[in-house]
Amino acid sequence: MDALREGFSIGIEEEYLLVDPETRALSVRQPSGFMARCKELLGPRVAHEVLQSQIEIVSRVCANIGEARTEILELLMSQVSYFMPHLLALSTSSPFWEGHDTGLKAFRPIIIGDLPRSGLPETFESWNDWTEMLDDLAATGMVTDPSKIWWDLRPSARHPTLEIRICDICTWAEDGLTIAALYQSILAFLYSLRANNQRWRQYRRILILENKWRAQRYGVEAEMGDFGKRALVPFSELIDELVEILRPHAAALGCLAEVEHARTIARRGTSADHQLRVYKDALGAGAGDHEAQVAVVDWLMAQSARADGAAPD
């Protein structure tokens, strides 16, 4: 297991939304000099995102959940895809859209869900299979930049790694680290299976999509399909089982505490659960709908600024 500590690197991207301090709405444009100052402080680790109100912060490459380097490409995305709904459920944080309660714990996947090159990835048999697809897209002029493939999971265009893109934006740093630790440990687990001439069973895409929908709709309160048992199982039980499967690999990678924190998230709820609670509490206290929405934005800003990066008790 010691080789795992050297063999699986990790990097984390975080997205931040800029809020108008008066209206609490997303900023229409960035303040003058804002990005220049960000680049002065963070260099190439900060970048523009699709929206003017959004920026992206990219970590350095880290060897484990604490630091640097790797080789993951021998895994087929088809095996890792099974676990994508689990990570989405743990990260749900977008129950509102344009000032409305959507009824979902994660609305973000809906926003890009109808775009081409979004959602769960295709199945590839080899690295050459992936590059041939990129060549076809580039030759036709349809897609010349691999980063414009917005799948939930994709090979990186710049690094020998698999990028996970399905997750919502975690409000608390400790939750984000748990998602990263789980993903790193899942890859190590699948790699160990391959080293022993084994593999995780590949399930039909429709089954994984059903679990993804349940993760979007219900978050950690979901019942999700355990396809081995052929039954619906409470999400908290699935997480308990996953933590035990990953335990030796997480320990070898030095991220067992972060992986075990997934149990806490599954039981105390995600950012989406807390946002909805703040919203309903404000309504219950007599606030109007707009005032309740402002309470959620204020809560999000306060939580995002917590020095310890931890969720409230």
Position 72 scores a pLDDT of 35
In this structure, is residue 171 part of a structural domain?
A: yes
Helix (H) or strand (E) holding 47: strand 46-48
In this structure, is residue 37 part of a structural domain?
A: no
Cα distances (Å, whole numbers) of residue 300 to 21, 177, 250, 261? 13, 18, 30, 21
Evaluate whether 254 touches 234 at the Cβ level (below 8 Å).
no
Position 20 scores a pLDDT of 77
3-state secondary structure at position 162: strand
In this structure, is residue 173 part of a structural domain?
A: yes
Tens of pLDDT, residue by residue, the chain (313 residues): 444 445 566 666 767 777 777 777 777 677 777 777 777 766 766 666 655 566 666 666 665 544 422 333 334 767 888 999 999 999 999 999 988 899 999 998 888 776 788 888 888 777 788 889 999 999 999 999 888 888 888 887 676 678 888 999 899 989 999 999 999 999 999 989 988 888 888 888 899 999 999 999 999 999 999 999 999 999 999 999 999 999 999 999 999 999 999 999 999 999 999 999 999 999 999 999 999 999 999 999 899 887 677 787 6
In this structure, is residue 206 part of a structural domain?
A: yes
In this structure, is residue 233 part of a structural domain?
A: yes
3-state secondary structure at position 275: helix
Evaluate whether 206 touches 120 at the Cβ level (below 8 Å).
no
CA-based nearest residue to 152, from 84, 86, 95: 84
Could you report the per-residue pLDDT of 288-312, keeping only the tens digit for each? Answer: 999 999 999 999 989 988 767 778 7
- CATH code assigned at 235: 3.30.590.20
Evaluate whether 281 touches 291 at the Cβ level (below 8 Å).
no
State how far the Cα of 64 lies from the Cα of 211, in Å rounded to an integer.
28
Q: Token pair of 265, please? A: 């998230």
Domain count for the chain: 1
Position 75 scores a pLDDT of 44
In this structure, is residue 234 part of a structural domain?
A: yes
Q: Token pair of 260, please? A: 């075990």
In this structure, is residue 187 part of a structural domain?
A: yes
Residues 6+ apart with CB under 8 A from 169: 14, 15, 91, 93, 94, 108
Please give the residue range of the domain that contains residue 189. 72-304
SS3 content of the chain, % helix, strand, coil (to 5): 50, 15, 35
Position 1 scores a pLDDT of 44
In this structure, is residue 18 part of a structural domain?
A: no
CB-facing half-sphere around the CA of 6: CA atoms within 13 A? 2
pTM listed for this prediction? 0.82
CB-facing half-sphere around the CA of 311: CA atoms within 13 A? 23
